[in-house]
Structure 1
Amino acid sequence: MMQVWSASEAAPDRLENEDHVFRFGPLVGVLDGATVPDGFDTGCVHGPAWYVRHLAARIGLAVAARPAATLMSSLAAAILAVRADHGDDCDLDHPGTPSATVCLLRDGGDHVDYLVLCDSPLVLDVGGAVRVISDDRLDTALAELRRVAETVPPTDDPVTRFRRAVAVQRERMNRTHGYWVAATDPDAAYHAVTGTLPLTGAGAVRRAVLLTDGASCAVEQFGLFDWAGLLDLVSRDGPDALVSRVRAAEQDRGDRLRRRKRHDDATVVLCRFR
């Protein structure tokens, strides 16, 4: 049996939470909608919050319709279904179309299936050892963009440099040598990081934590603890405790770190298995 606890909180400077948590029977998921920078067009009348809500609902329907299907095929079916939800007023080929990261975990009785797409990691206690399932292709793409930016002569207009960086990042989205994310192309689902782990025996999964990058930054950016420490904190004090630690770090150190956003939506889901 899988027991689930969750916490999801919008950034303090944002009215709407663009993260989304859902559970449909044995399936638990976390989605993180891509925030649109001010002044950028998306070609769509909908925002990230609309997209994650619809994608979550469509994933649930896809899993209900085909319970034995792989998580990749269920996600692909959901992405395709959300295309139809958009309507004729949306340009679904626009590079800024609403998108989201995906982290899924499904209890199969004697095993768990997982899927990670883009930067929403999964932290697992596997037989007492900590294992992190992540998709680092977005980080790799951003690092390449920073290296390219360093070769460009500096300009007195930081806004121009930022707009150029966002445009190039959009060009890398859902490309073979870029990164993959749930948007309008169902093929992205088949580029996710997936796998299966046992729920019985010495190497059984005991605990799992699903995160958006607004919560995983506790390890990856703020260095508050390592992954084992994060897993123990959430298991001992609950998902809200991690969100609180991140908010305190954002307040204390946010201005000193190289972050595009001082605050971000933060979502944490804890799963325990018996």
Structure 2
Amino acid sequence: MRVRSASAPAPGRDVNEDLVFRFGPLVGVLDGATVPEGFDTGCVHGPEWYVRHLAARIGLAEAARPAATLMSNLAAAILAVRADHADECDLDHPGTPSSTVCLLREGGDQVDYLVLCDSPLVLDAGGRITVVSDDRLDAAMADLRRTVATIPAGAGDRASRFREAVGVQRKRMNRTHGYWVAAADPDAAYHAVTGTVALRGRDALRRAALLSDGASSAVEQFGVVDWAGLLDLLTVEGPAALIDRVRAAERDLPDRLRRHKRSDDASVVLCEFNPDDSGA
């Protein structure tokens, strides 16, 4: 497995709340949830601390139990980070630090993958491009926007409406009919999207891209490329080139079409394989 990666903070920010990592046959992308200014989290740590500790704990879990499922090792890692907080933090607070998770692990004749929240995985296998995504956050946010839209315009200014929206979103984190993300509850790992792809034969995996939503926005928000074009761009020009395309698109986007953030941290990992073309 050949691995290339790139990760960059949003322009104008010194802190990158994304993290890419590799521990032997395991690669991953984590995207820490940015805390809106003025919101409490019940924690003395921030998203950057959380993703670094979670990545380290995932690596230790994999080293200790290389045959365990990705779900099981992610659950163990979340539980270990919970202990890392010690007694300094209120881990039942709805704003406790959290992160998306996208993992790929090579093993013999197959790879295993795990996707939790909105960091998608793009697979090129058997001549087909497949996107593995967890759309529960998108569904929860769409429902949230509908709820906020029903609030009378005179009920408060924009800031107060935003605060109410964030409060509603937090209540739906790691809840049935809400969305799941790595935070303080190890049970979230068992709600991840998982699967296996062959590394041999006609349907062998050739390429895989792990993306934070800041990088997948090249397709999902800006339409700079499609998923096949994204993989080709990564293969020919490298992961940093994709982030450059995203930054250019962010600069050119009219203010009226911007998301709640003008730009986002962006991370991408490209994995390339040498499939057995014998068809066996």
Normalising by structure 2, report the TM-score.
0.96
- Residue 65 (structure 2) aligns with: 66
CA distance in 2 between counterparts of 1:91 and 1:217 reads: 33
CA distance in 2 between counterparts of 1:170 and 1:258 reads: 22
Q: Kindly provide the amino acid, as one letter, of the partner of residue 173 in structure 1.
A: M
CA distance in 1 between counterparts of 2:192 and 2:83 reads: 22
Contact 1:18 1:35 in 2 (8 A): yes
CA distance in 2 between counterparts of 1:232 and 1:136 reads: 24
- Residue 278 (structure 2) aligns with: none
Contact 1:13 1:263 in 2 (8 A): no
- Residue 20 (structure 2) aligns with: 21
Partner SS state of residue 116, structure 1: strand
* Residues 100-148 of structure 1 deviation map (CA, whole Å, 9 limit, x = unaligned): 0000000012100000000000001011110000000000000001111
- Residue 261 (structure 2) aligns with: 261
- Residue 85 (structure 2) aligns with: 86
* Residues 139-181 of structure 1 deviation map (CA, whole Å, 9 limit, x = unaligned): 0000001111222211351000000000000000000110000
CA distance in 1 between counterparts of 2:254 and 2:37 reads: 20
CA distance in 2 between counterparts of 1:78 and 1:38 reads: 28
- Residue 235 (structure 1) aligns with: 235
The 5-angstrom pairing of residues 100-139 of structure 1 reads 100-139=99-138
Is the aligned partner of 1:153 residue 2:152? yes
Structure 2: state its 5+ residue gaps: 275-280
Structure 1: state its 5+ residue gaps: none
Q: Kindly provide the amino acid, as one letter, of the partner of residue 3 in structure 1.
A: R
Is the aligned partner of 1:179 residue 2:191? no
CA distance in 2 between counterparts of 1:198 and 1:191 reads: 23
CA distance in 2 between counterparts of 1:79 and 1:190 reads: 11
Partner SS state of residue 261, structure 2: coil
CA positional deviation for 1:257: 1.7
Q: Kindly provide the amino acid, as one letter, of the partner of residue 13 in structure 2.
A: R
Q: Kindly provide the amino acid, as one letter, of the partner of residue 109 in structure 1.
A: G
Is the aligned partner of 1:75 residue 2:74? yes
Q: Kindly provide the amino acid, as one letter, of the partner of residue 220 in structure 1.
A: E
- Residue 197 (structure 2) aligns with: 197
CA positional deviation for 1:13: 2.2
Runs of 4+ in 1 over 4 A off after TM superposition: none
Q: Kindly provide the amino acid, as one letter, of the partner of residue 106 in structure 1.
A: R
- Residue 272 (structure 1) aligns with: 272
Is the aligned partner of 1:223 residue 2:245? no
CA distance in 2 between counterparts of 1:87 and 1:116 reads: 28
The 5-angstrom pairing of residues 207-218 of structure 1 reads 207-218=207-218
- Residue 98 (structure 1) aligns with: 97
CA distance in 2 between counterparts of 1:89 and 1:131 reads: 43
CA distance in 2 between counterparts of 1:54 and 1:173 reads: 20
* Residues 43-80 of structure 1 deviation map (CA, whole Å, 9 limit, x = unaligned): 00000000000000000000100110000000000000
Partner SS state of residue 153, structure 2: coil
Q: Kindly provide the amino acid, as one letter, of the partner of residue 245 in structure 2.
A: R
